[in-house]
Structure 1
């Protein structure tokens, strides 16, 4: 009986310690990558604004089919792909934000075109924003996002750059 009480007390203290540590981890994580383009390629965001064009550059979308597509101004602005809902929630000449939702928490995926005065280059920045609840497993998973999504983002930016140079 003495060992059972010690085990239960130790498990509770360990769970409280893990929860306390995870509360120190951020609840909002942003993974970001960027690529430089020539100044004449500012139309690269047109590839991003139209979800139907993602098959040309977004890693893995070349074999997927868009379902329940909503078209506005000749562009697909909302669709479903493999149980993931996609919505273009912001679209301007320098920023496109697509909300991706599978399950409860949405993820915002944004592309920002940064222009430099007196320069012949542009920077295209892609960043994904994740929000987490206080649950320890969610907060710990935030530590792994850069490794898992970073490579996909780099590949997508590289393919967008190639599309812009055609």
Structure 2
């Protein structure tokens, strides 16, 4: 009986120490990734503000070709959402447009096994002729007081940040390729 009491005392002490250490870990994680895109900022804004275009570059969809996607009836105004459930990889979530303006699109991220998180896209023209655009994808993930969640928060930036990096690279490729194709077809039309 004494051994059981000692074991419970040690277990309780360990839990208390881990909880106290967890309280010193920040209660939110800010994740942000950016990329420079060779495209007009109005085109970038148009693509990001309409959820029907997201299946071409959203990392959780491009990594799982069998993912089931559901879009809101209206896709380009506040309240519009992009929902998916992965079939090959274990991912699911909903991203909802909260507000939209030319420089920033606010989002609500609801990713599987994670708390809701606010974030969005910031769009800034950096080129002399508005032909280069900086895109920043960010999210603030709030953690609960549970020690295991606080410790998980240490790795959240690495996990979600890598998905943001992949998504932005795919977005850059998609938007720049679409820009090249539209310029090529415009020059063919002008030659005829």
TM-score, scaled relative to structure 2? 0.73
Segments of structure 2 that go 5 or more residues without pairing to the other structure are: 86-91, 180-192
Q: Is the 8 A contact 2:117 2:141 kept in 1?
A: yes
The two structures, once aligned, show a CA RMSD in angstroms of 2.8
Structure 2 CA distance, aligned partners of 1:76 and 1:55?
18
Maintained 8 Å contact 2:50/2:75: no
Which one is further off, 23-32 or 74-83?
A: 74-83
Aligned residue number for residue 85 of structure 1? 94
Question: How far did residue 23 of structure 1 move?
Answer: 0.7
The reply on whether 1:9 has 2:9 as its aligned counterpart is yes
Farther-moved stretch of structure 1 (97-106 vs 129-138) = 97-106
User: d(CA) in 1 for partners of 2:100 and 2:175?
Assistant: 18
Shift of 1:103: 6.6
Supply the distance in 1 between the matched residues of 2:78 and 2:5 (Cα, whole angstroms). Answer: 63
5+ residue gaps, structure 1, are none
Q: Distance in 1 between matches of 2:54 and 2:127?
A: 30
Matches within 5 A, 1:141-160: 141-160=152-171
Counterpart in 2 of 1:107? 117
Matches of 1:74 and 1:88, distance apart in 2: 7
Please state whether the residue corresponding to 1:60 is helix, strand or coil. Answer: helix
Superposed displacement of residue 21, structure 1: 0.4
User: Structure 1 residue 71 and structure 2 residue 74: aligned?
Assistant: yes
Aligned equivalent of 1:130, options 138, 141, 150? 141
Contact 2:32 / 2:139 at 8 angstroms: preserved in 1? yes
- Higher normalized strand content (fraction of residues): 1
Distance, in Å, in 2 between the alignment partners of 1:149 and 1:16 is 29
Cα 1:66–1:40 change in 2 (3 A) is same
Q: Tell me the residue number matched to 1:55.
A: 55
Say how many residue pairs are matched: 166
Alpha-carbon shift at residue 73 of structure 1 (Å): 5.5
Equivalent-residue separation in structure 1 for 2:42 and 2:77 (angstroms): 19
1:78, CA displacement in angstroms? 2.1
TM-score calculated relative to the size of structure 1: 0.83
Flag the structure with larger Rg.
2
SS in 1 for 2:13: helix
